[in-house]
């Protein structure tokens, strides 16, 4: 018997991770994941279980393409950025050398970049990364501490 629940349980995490890798926004990845499983319900009669999870990943990618195509058509999301950045590179607000400091781990770099380059608030960073607000605050404090020490060393 076609058992949606066991299929859902087996693949929801990988579908979600794949969606997240395509979009980088957890909220959107959530939506796309649920849409993908809805598509599976709609096509339950024609989808062979042996084709899973490949079928789910293809649907996820197509849904993401649709999403960006819609966004692009609506021209609400990206047009402003395109107008302001016609192929030019504005210098980021934070020095790239600092962000690439070897003492920083990926999670520190992510928090620093989202905070000081993209100007996100801590709750926004938490939503973007799946970390808690407290974790974000801790990573930022720790990263700034590291950088401060490194800068002090350099100035000696």
Partner 1 sequence: MTGEPEQRWSDLEPYEMDFLEELGVSPGSVGCPPPELVRACNADVLPKNLKGSVQRHVEGCRVCQNLARDLGEVDAGLSSEEQLRIRGHIFDKVHRRGRSPSRRLFWALIPALAVAVVITLVIWTHFLPKNPDRKIVSAISTPNVAVAPATIFVLEKAQVEMPVPLVMRGASENRQAYIAGLVRALDRYQAGDYTEAIKRLEPLAQKYPRAAEVPFYLGVSLLFEGRDSEAAKNLERAETLATGWLAGASRWYLAIADIRSGRPEEAVVPLQGLCDAPGEYHARACAGLKELSSSNRSTAPR
Residues 109-148 that bind partner 1 (CB under 8 A): 109-110, 113-122, 128-131, 140-141, 144, 147-148
Shortest separation between residue 122's beta carbon and partner 1, angstroms: 7
- What end-to-end distance do the CA atoms of the chain give, in Å? 71
Binding mask 65-104 for partner 1 (x = CB under 8 A): x--xx--x-----x-xxx-xxxxxxxxxxxxx-xxx----
Residues 37-66 that bind partner 1 (CB under 8 A): 37-38, 41, 61, 64-65
CB of 30 to partner 1, least distance (A): 6
**17 contacts partner 1 (rule: CB under 8 A):** yes
Read off the tokens for 21: 């890798």
Residues belonging to the chain: 156
Nearest CB to partner 1, comparing residues 52 and 113: 113
In whole angstroms, how close is the CB of 103 to partner 1 at the nearest point? 14
- Which one of 16, 55, 56, 59 is in contact with partner 1 (CB under 8 A)? 16
């Amino acid at each position: 018997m076609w058992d949606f629940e066991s299929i859902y349980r087996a693949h929801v995490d990988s579908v979600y991770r794949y969606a997240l890798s395509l979009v980088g926004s957890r909220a959107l990845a959530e939506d796309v994941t649920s849409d993908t499983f809805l598509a599976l319900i709609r096509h339950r009669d024609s989808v062979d279980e042996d084709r899973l999870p490949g079928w789910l990943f293809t649907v996820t990618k197509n849904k993401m393409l649709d999403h960006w195509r819609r966004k692009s058509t609506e021209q609400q999301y990206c047009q402003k950025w395109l107008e302001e950045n016609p192929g030019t590179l504005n210098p980021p607000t934070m020095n790239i050398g600092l962000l690439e400091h070897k003492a920083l781990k990926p999670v520190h770099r992510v928090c620093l970049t989202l905070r000081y380059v993209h100007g996100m608030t801590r709750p926004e960073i938490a939503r973007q990364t799946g970390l808690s607000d407290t974790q974000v605050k801790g990573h930022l404090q720790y990263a700034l501490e590291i950088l401060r020490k490194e800068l002090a060393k350099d100035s000696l």
